[in-house]
Chain A
Amino acid sequence: MMRRRDRPLACVLAALFAALPISPALAAAPLSANDAAIWLQRMSDAARSVAYEGVFVVQHGSAMQTHSILNRPAGAAQAERESRIATMDGTQREVRCTQSGSVSRVTEGGQVRMEKRLNSRHFPDLLPPNAAALASWYGVRLGNLARVAGLECRQVEIVPKDAYRWGYVLCADKDSGLPLKAVMVNEAGTPLMQYAFAEIRIGSPSRVDAQSGWTMPELPAAMRPINAEAVNIRSLPPGFSRITAVKRTLPNKPGEVEHWVFSDGLTHISLFLEPATHPIETIRGQSKQGMINMVKRQVGPMQATILGDAPWAAIEAIAMGLEARGEPR
């Protein structure tokens, strides 16, 4: 199956985000938990199992970036799947994800820097492999048919059931279920971040290695396991669990830190722990549109930095739930 709509990119870009803000009129009755799970799983599977090649745009506040993307599922159960994303404007950056891992390659000032990534999440592969489980924490509402990158798609609203996560409005390709557009929204429905394909070809990509100039290198692991934990977390927001806890170095920062990640499958919150070299003042940080929240505080002998693209309530709950091991309860 080959479908293609060639349009001058500029025209498409101008029209891309014109349909916003998300109209509340699309709000239909929420699906049953069962149907919600089916829709979530369908969109999640499509992002991994469908072959596609295209160009998508990310908009966050006043920043906008264009990426080319290629997804090539191969082998039994997509075991040899490979996806590549490359920035088309700004700093030259490419991310490659295979079954064995994810590597980013940044070319800046004539220098090439390769880094191993801990995760391979990216648009349109936003939903977790077991997306059906999200139905416990998010409701799903089907909206109208819309048109993105020349293809008809169904609007699917993913509405958080509490204040600990942001919502999404996706537009899933009518035939394949692949998300062609994703908008992260706050509790008022205001877009925080938007992704949308400007051009997409669904089917087998024709030029498999056309943009390949490098092969995925064997990089030393960016992290190692934690042996003793200095900090304990008493409680987490509902639905969240710790999915990662490693020791690693941070880009442009000397020394090792512990990096923990909490997630409900869709929302991810990072906790960084490092020895406090001096008394740490509690600092709150927020990105301009409020999408990313952050807090830095001292926990016993450690400095804790909690941040994520999650509402303040979730960041705060995690920050408040931390205690030094051995501290009285």
Chain B
Amino acid sequence: MKTTVKSMTMQTQSEHEAARASEGRTEILSALIDGELSDDQARQAIKQIGHGDSDRASLAEYIAIGDAMRGLSAQHGDFTRRVMAALENEPVLLAPAPERKKSERRPVLWLAAATAAAITWGLWQSSPRDEAIAPLAAVQQPGMQNVEAMPYLAAHEDFAQAVISAPEMRFSKASLEVRQ
């Protein structure tokens, strides 16, 4: 399990680097998928995709990733095909948005996150159920249980205004920087 996690991390990193290397192209593709390009920009992007096989492949891949994130992982091929077909004939389907300022655009980093999510998704689907749950449990280390906090909450209730049952607490590890 440990090696799996490690290789996953490495793959995520290399994907991330790749994404950064072709940031310009990626950004345009990402904006196109999100419907964030203006009419003119969308038309131009689609024209370019029409000419480049690698861009077409990337676009298909990104749409598939988006599907996986939305939980449509099964049989996304069909949906992708339909989108690609629609792209060829009716670019208007993508509902181009009015032009926005660059600063308002979502950072292109979501693509890297999408890649990682897609990979993780794939691993979980192919691994036994118990193993898929284990890493999640390991992440949630509260460090303190609600039952442990209960006596303190109950004692404080003498000074709180309500006679209400103690609330559910969430705990996280913290580090206090104590300056002397």
Q: Is the CB of A60 within 8 A of B155?
A: no
Which residues in window 15-34 of A have CB below 8 A to B?
Answer: none
Known interface pairs A119-B159, A268-B159; A283-B144 also in contact (CB < 8 Å): yes
- B152 partner, pick from A63, A182, A250, beta carbons under 8 A: A250
B176 (CB) vs chain A CBs: closest residue: A282
Give chain B residues whose Cβ lies under 8 Å from the Cβ of A58: 162-164
Q: Is the CB of B158 within 8 A of A288?
A: no
B173 at the interface (CB under 8 A from A): yes
- Closest chain-A Cβ to B115's Cβ sits at a distance in Å of 32
Which residues in window 252-275 of A have CB below 8 A to B?
Answer: 252-253, 259, 261, 263, 268, 270, 272
Give chain A residues whose Cβ lies under 8 Å from the Cβ of B144: 283, 285, 296
Chain B interface category by residue count = 20 to 34
Number of A-B contacts (CB under 8 A): 130
Tally of A interface residues using CB under 8 Å? 61
CA distance A58 to B156 in the complex (A): 18
- A307 partner, pick from B152, B168, B176, beta carbons under 8 A: B152
A151 at the interface (CB under 8 A from B): no
- Closest chain-B Cβ to A242's Cβ sits at a distance in Å of 12
Q: Is the CB of A285 within 8 A of B169?
A: yes
CA distance A82 to B35 in the complex (A): 67
Which of A37-45, A87-95, A141-149, A224-232 lies at the interface with chain B? A87-95
Known interface pairs A250-B154, A259-B155, A292-B153; A282-B169 also in contact (CB < 8 Å): no
Q: Is the CB of B168 within 8 A of A253?
A: no
B153 (CB) vs chain A CBs: closest residue: A307
A81 at the interface (CB under 8 A from B): no
- A91 partner, pick from B142, B143, B165, beta carbons under 8 A: B165
CA distance A307 to B159 in the complex (A): 11
CA distance A63 to B161 in the complex (A): 15
Give chain A residues whose Cβ lies under 8 Å from the Cβ of B176: 282, 295, 297, 316, 319-320
Give chain B residues whose Cβ lies under 8 Å from the Cβ of A95: 163
Known interface pairs A60-B162, A65-B164, A319-B176; A283-B153 also in contact (CB < 8 Å): no
CA distance A195 to B173 in the complex (A): 33
B74 at the interface (CB under 8 A from A): no
Which residues in window 125-180 of B have CB below 8 A to A?
Answer: 142-144, 149-156, 158-165, 167-176, 178-180
Q: Is the CB of A309 within 8 A of B150?
A: no
Q: Is the CB of B159 within 8 A of A261?
A: yes
CA distance A286 to B159 in the complex (A): 18
Q: Is the CB of A309 within 8 A of B160?
A: yes
Which residues in window 276-316 of A have CB below 8 A to B?
Answer: 281-288, 291-292, 294-297, 305, 307-309, 316
CA distance A313 to B119 in the complex (A): 40
Q: Fill in one digit per residue for A93-132: 1 if any B CB lies within 8 Å of its CB, else 0.
A: 1010000001010000000000001110111001000000
Q: Fill in one digit per residue for A158-178: 1 if any B CB lies within 8 Å of its CB, else 0.
A: 000000000000000000000
- 7 sample A-B contacts, Cβ–Cβ < 8 Å, listed by A number: A61-B167, A121-B158, A250-B154, A272-B155, A283-B173, A297-B176, A320-B178
- Closest chain-A Cβ to B151's Cβ sits at a distance in Å of 4
A248 at the interface (CB under 8 A from B): yes
A75 at the interface (CB under 8 A from B): no
A64 (CB) vs chain B CBs: closest residue: B164
Q: Fill in one digit per residue for A45-65: 1 if any B CB lies within 8 Å of its CB, else 0.
A: 000000000000010110101
Q: Is the CB of A63 within 8 A of B165?
A: yes
CA distance A7 to B144 in the complex (A): 45
A247 at the interface (CB under 8 A from B): no
- Closest chain-B Cβ to A9's Cβ sits at a distance in Å of 18
A329 at the interface (CB under 8 A from B): yes
A85 at the interface (CB under 8 A from B): yes
Q: Is the CB of A248 within 8 A of B155?
A: yes
Give chain A residues whose Cβ lies under 8 Å from the Cβ of B143: 281, 283
Q: Is the CB of B164 within 8 A of A63?
A: yes
CA distance A259 to B159 in the complex (A): 11
Q: Is the CB of A268 within 8 A of B154?
A: no
CA distance A197 to B4 in the complex (A): 59
A251 at the interface (CB under 8 A from B): yes
